[in-house]
């Protein structure tokens, strides 16, 4: 009995299609919905052995969702799919996220943001655009500092390896309070305050759960060093957005996505004169 084709619900470049074909190795046919006429989509989805998708709510019509119920797997490309209405999917359909798939590029992005803040790139670039060439303000070294990582999974570990190359000490928090990856300090969230007090760079890469939603609020931000750098590559809701508009007596540099709950997304909000916030929007 044939396993059925792999049905890809979103556009892929020629190079990406070649990679898919190489990985399949002739074991299954790859069908791309964007190549099909509307009348042919239902037949392809109905015989799918597996489905590869970014967001089924946008790539499949409501009447097409049930057609994939007999597939052996629905594989999402994102590591986190809390923004996808999975409750609308057939209950019998196995669903998987791409956990850790973007760990290395995300860790490089984290390092880029840390360097941008430490070296005042955004600030000095803005001044340079107005004709001011500032050679007097000191920037910061990462070497010798502490990189605190909240959420020590694939992204956290990849980030630790890069930050260690810059000479930073690695402090980490995960659910076990232990890891096979070398650290200078590791604990559970019960000791979060200790890490916040010493972190020169705080990276949030934890999953959004009932335990982590709103975990970083005004009290936690106030525990941090006055010149700390906070980089949130997880969901925006882990940081209490209201706390970002609360007067905090420290110039923390914050990189964080805006909240996306409830179908809304915004950037650049809740900035105060005590916090310089650089937002990375996710839509």
Residue 100: predicted pLDDT: 82
Instruction: Render pLDDT for 225-261 as a digit per residue (tens, 0 to 9).
Output: 988 999 999 988 999 877 776 554 455 666 666 554 4
The mean of the pLDDT values for the chain is 85
Tokens of 13: 């470049």
SS3 letters for 103-126? HHHHHHHHHHHHHHHHCCHHHHHH
Confidence of residue 67 (pLDDT cuts 50, 70, 90): very high
The CA distance from 270 to 126, in Å, is 20
Q: Rounded to a whole number, what is the distance in angstroms from the first to the last CA of the chain? A: 41
Burial of 26-60, coded b for 16+ CB within 10 Å and e otherwise, reads eebebbbbeeeeeeebeebbbbbbbbbbbbbbebb
Three-class DSSP category at 89: coil
pTM of the full structure:
0.77
Structural contact between residues 233 and 258, judged by C-beta atoms closer than 8 angstroms: no
Whose CA is closest to 158, among 229, 110, 207? 110
Q: How far is CA 158 from CA 107, 142, 154, 177, 233, in A?
A: 6, 17, 6, 17, 13
Query: Any residues with CB less than 8 A from the CB of 179 and at least 6 apart, and which?
Result: 152, 157, 172, 186
Residue 165: predicted pLDDT: 97
Instruction: Render pLDDT for 85-137 as a digit per residue (tens, 0 to 9).
Output: 888 899 999 999 888 888 999 999 999 999 999 998 888 888 889 898 888 88
- Over 50: is that where the pLDDT of 263 sits? no
- Tell me the average pLDDT across 169-177: 97
Confidence of residue 274 (pLDDT cuts 50, 70, 90): very low
The CA distance from 174 to 225, in Å, is 22
Residue 51: predicted pLDDT: 96
Tokens of 64: 């097409």
Instruction: Render pLDDT for 38-57 as a digit per residue (tens, 0 to 9).
Output: 999 999 999 999 999 999 99
Share of the chain above pLDDT 70, in %: 85
Residue 238: predicted pLDDT: 93
Structural contact between residues 183 and 170, judged by C-beta atoms closer than 8 angstroms: yes
Query: Any residues with CB less than 8 A from the CB of 31 and at least 6 apart, and which?
Result: 5, 6, 7, 8, 44, 48
- Tell me the average pLDDT across 7-22: 96
Residue 121: predicted pLDDT: 87
The CA distance from 85 to 24, in Å, is 28
């Amino acid at each position: 009995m044939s396993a059925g084709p792999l049905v890809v619900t979103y556009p892929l470049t020629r190079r990406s299609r070649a990679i898919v074909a190489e990985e399949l190795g002739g074991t299954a046919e790859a069908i791309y919905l964007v190549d099909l006429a509307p009348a042919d989509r239902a037949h392809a989805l109905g015989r799918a052995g597996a489905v590869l998708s970014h967001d089924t709510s946008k790539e499949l019509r409501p009447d097409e969702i049930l057609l994939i119920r007999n597939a052996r797997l629905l594989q999402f490309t994102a590591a986190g799919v809390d923004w996808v209405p999975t409750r609308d999917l057939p209950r019998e359909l196995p669903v998987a996220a791409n956990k850790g798939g973007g760990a290395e590029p995300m860790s490089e992005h984290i390092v880029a943001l840390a360097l941008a803040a430490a070296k005042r790139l955004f600030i000095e670039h803005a001044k340079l655009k107005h004709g001011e060439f500032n050679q007097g303000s000191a920037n910061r070294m990462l070497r010798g500092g502490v990189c605190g990582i909240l959420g020590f999974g694939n992204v956290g570990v990849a980030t630790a390896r890069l930050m260690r190359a810059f000479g930073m000490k690695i402090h980490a928090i995960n659910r076990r309070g232990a890891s096979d990856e070398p650290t200078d300090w590791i604990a559970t969230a019960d000791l979060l305050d200790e890490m916040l007090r010493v972190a020169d760079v705080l990276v949030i890469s934890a999953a959004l759960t009932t335990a982590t939603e709103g975990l970083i609020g005004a009290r936690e931000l106030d525990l941090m060093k006055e010149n700390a750098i906070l980089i949130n590559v997880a969901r925006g809701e882990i940081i209490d957005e209201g706390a970002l508009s609360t007067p905090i007596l420290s110039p923390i540099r914050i990189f964080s996505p805006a909240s996306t709950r409830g179908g809304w997304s915004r950037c650049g909000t809740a900035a105060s004169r005590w916090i310089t916030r650089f937002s990375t929007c996710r839509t």
